[in-house]
Chains A and B, each alone.
Chain A
């Protein structure tokens, strides 16, 4: 144990003397936490629309002003023709086109129905889809209002058996949003991003640490001393564990004061899970470094895996949407579980009972990865 004390002292001294490393360990994560959630937003707002109004009637004016005031759209162009409007889509100045044909108002009254043409830039499928569905629903609203103004609602007799109706039936929908009533996307992203930051600090840097000693040659000196394998690995792991905990705490503080996210659940359980997670993650980094000969290799391998972990973790896209084979991969990464747990505890107030499966899986990761690293580290070649 005394040996461990000396190892830790040396490690901490070296970390804090590494002027280039310090900002990366402490400042970079914070900056990323401040910037990323602001940027990472799947919400579709401000869709740019180019309108081709060939009718120039009262109705078309009313429709246009309704679109403009809907809050979803940003009218960027009034084009004189479809081709001109298409031009603005090509130049990425518009996302969607609405063409109101000539005689729109007149034909709507005379013939009872009239077509309108929409063309959406569907390269970004989500944006294209959402844009056209928002526009369609604005159109539907406009349609209903217009109809009510022009047509008196008539009452009909209801048939006894209810099988055929002559009056329209409406099923009203009362949507309720739980756990995030303001539909704030940041509530969703910030906990996840915090996990990613801690993951990067722990995974990358821990991986580099042992390899650096290998490269310089001090590891030979260590192998010749009576330092035991587990002492050496613990000496490498513990400082970054502490730094990881520290970064996470600062992250929570930022989440509280900058984003207004107050964890609903028990912080103690969260920290418990975090501790186990960090051990698993650092074990992963150490494992990579036992397999690498130099820093470039270690870095690339770590980057490769961590990138896969991050993409498959459910941070950006939901795990449930993935095909089965992808879901399996996702279940094999330690990051996935922590992101789930993070969101469950912070947003839903889930208790230990709710997360215990994830907890035990994470603990299993920790044991397997670290055990493997210790076995793989050979003091004698």
Chain B
């Protein structure tokens, strides 16, 4: 499994270097709540078409940072652009060009699969024809033809996650933000989920994913690790392992996070 995925990762990286423009650019981005500095002057860039892993322990500030990039929260310092748009002034433009999958599962449980697709697709501006076409494609890809009219609430968790992801990219956004998308699912489902991520990446969608599963870090082109609101490491998984003389990303993380002051949330 390892060589396969690493091979795929290298392939995507070369694709990424071909496309111009950065998907996300952050400089000294900060978020402060009263005295508490949740995000402490982070700076990084994400290339178009990359799969970028935004790692860190619980409570390190990942979700807060991501919400700023999505236009859900105003930064208190620094600057950032997402898909070329300013996070302070051009939030509505950002929103048109991104997809988002939150930690709390956010499809409507009392609507059917088809109805959820129709809603989110329609809201992002797909025409009726596109809705029909893409909807069918999505359902076929996930193998949910039989369940298409059933309520989403009745699906098992793994299917819900995959569905939420597919809906998040149905409008072919430039970037998709995933907040801990594989929490609580079994390893097989996790693997299938990452297959979907690769397919999205192949289509040119930049994937920005936060997770605290360190093994998923291996699937990404580059990762950063947040500790106590700062970014303490940023590189490809291979380089990081070399740098910290570690065999797995887990060990890398351990080396970095051991000194963390913030307890898990």
| A interface with B by C-beta (< 8 Å) | 2-3, 5-7, 9-10, 13-14, 17-18, 216-218, 220-221, 223-228, 379-381
B99: nearest chain-A partner, CB-CB: A224
B86 on interface, CB distance cutoff 8 Å = no
| B interface with A by C-beta (< 8 Å) | 67, 70-74, 91-92, 95-96, 98, 100, 102, 104-108, 110-111, 115, 118-120, 122-125
Q: In the assembly, what is the distance between CA of A6 and CA of B115, in Å?
A: 10
Q: Determine the chain B residues whose CB is within 8 A of the CB of A226 once the complex forms.
A: 92, 95-96, 123-125
Residues A217 and B104 in contact in the complex (CB < 8 Å), given A13-B111, A13-B115: yes
> In angstroms, how far is the closest chain A Cβ from the Cβ of B2?
34
| Contact yes or no, A225 B124, CB < 8 A | yes
Residues A380 and B124 in contact in the complex (CB < 8 Å), given A14-B111, A226-B92: no
Q: Which of B73, B106, B118 contacts A380 (CB 8 A)?
A: B73
Instruction: Name the prevailing secondary structure of the A interface residues.
Output: helix
| Contact yes or no, B102 A18, CB < 8 A | no
Residues A221 and B102 in contact in the complex (CB < 8 Å), given A227-B123, A381-B72: yes
Q: Which of A5, A218, A223, A379 contacts B108 (CB 8 A)?
A: A218
Residues A381 and B108 in contact in the complex (CB < 8 Å), given A13-B115, A224-B98, A226-B95: no
Q: In the assembly, what is the distance between CA of A224 and CA of B106, in Å?
A: 11
A217: nearest chain-B partner, CB-CB: B104
Q: Determine the chain B residues whose CB is within 8 A of the CB of A227 once the complex forms.
A: 123
Residues A220 and B73 in contact in the complex (CB < 8 Å), given A2-B122, A13-B115, A226-B96: no
**Could you jot down 10 A-B contacts, CB within 8 Å?**
A2-B125, A7-B119, A7-B123, A18-B110, A217-B106, A224-B72, A224-B95, A226-B92, A226-B95, A381-B73
Q: Determine the chain A residues whose CB is within 8 A of the CB of B108 once the complex forms.
A: 10, 14, 218
| Contact yes or no, B110 A6, CB < 8 A | no
| Contact yes or no, A225 B95, CB < 8 A | yes
Q: In the assembly, what is the distance between CA of A104 and CA of B9, in Å?
A: 114
| Contact yes or no, A220 B110, CB < 8 A | no
Residues A380 and B91 in contact in the complex (CB < 8 Å), given A13-B111, A217-B102, A217-B104: yes
| Contact yes or no, A221 B111, CB < 8 A | no
| Contact yes or no, B123 A217, CB < 8 A | no
| Contact yes or no, A380 B115, CB < 8 A | no
Q: Determine the chain A residues whose CB is within 8 A of the CB of B96 once the complex forms.
A: 226
Q: Determine the chain B residues whose CB is within 8 A of the CB of A224 once the complex forms.
A: 70-72, 95, 98, 100, 102
Residues A6 and B70 in contact in the complex (CB < 8 Å), given A217-B105, A218-B108, A220-B106: no
| Contact yes or no, A221 B73, CB < 8 A | no
Q: Which of A9, A13, A220, A381 contacts B74 (CB 8 A)?
A: A381
Q: Determine the chain A residues whose CB is within 8 A of the CB of B122 once the complex forms.
A: 2-3, 5-6
